[in-house]
């Protein structure tokens, strides 16, 4: 993985967070990243974790993508596309506007 240069300021860009949970497969993260690339959405941050499911012992994946939607993106259309994509791959997914976290 290569870290890119610092991004320029994009005041019209919209930050969103996508959450994904599913049974682990090695190609899931790649497929999700490709979805965002195909829709001109910039990936800002990715956090993922795997764990063993308590009932089955199978490996599960939780991933959180922080993304930036370009100005002019039809948000409802992109959300529908993302959820249809996730359903086709049998992923539990949600995409919502990014909200700053209050300091603890």
pLDDT of amino acid 39: 95
Q: What is the mean pLDDT of the chain?
A: 90
Domains of the chain: 14-97 (3.30.70.260)
pLDDT of amino acid 10: 64
Residue 8 clears pLDDT 90, i.e. is over it: no
Whether the model clears a pTM of 0.75, i.e. scores above it, the answer is: yes
pLDDT of amino acid 58: 95
Confidence label for 3 from pLDDT (cuts 50, 70 and 90)? low
Contacts 24+ apart (CB under 8 A), 40-48: 40/70, 41/67, 41/68, 41/69, 41/70, 41/73, 41/78, 42/7, 42/13, 42/67, 42/68, 42/70, 43/67, 44/7, 44/15, 44/68
pLDDT of amino acid 96: 95
- The tens digit of pLDDT for each residue in 71-95 reads 889 999 999 999 999 999 999 999 9
């Amino acid at each position: 993985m290569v870290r890119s240069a610092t991004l320029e300021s994009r005041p019209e860009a919209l930050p969103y967070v996508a959450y994904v949970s599913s049974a682990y497969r090695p190609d899931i993260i790649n497929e999700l990243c490709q979805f965002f690339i195909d829709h001109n959405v910039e990936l800002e941050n990715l956090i993922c974790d795997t764990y063993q499911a308590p009932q089955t012992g199978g490996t599960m994946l939780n991933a959180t993508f922080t993304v930036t939607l370009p100005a002019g993106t039809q948000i409802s259309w992109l959300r529908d596309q993302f959820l249809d994509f996730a359903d086709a791959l049998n992923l539990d997914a949600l995409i919502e506007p990014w909200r700053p976290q209050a300091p603890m």
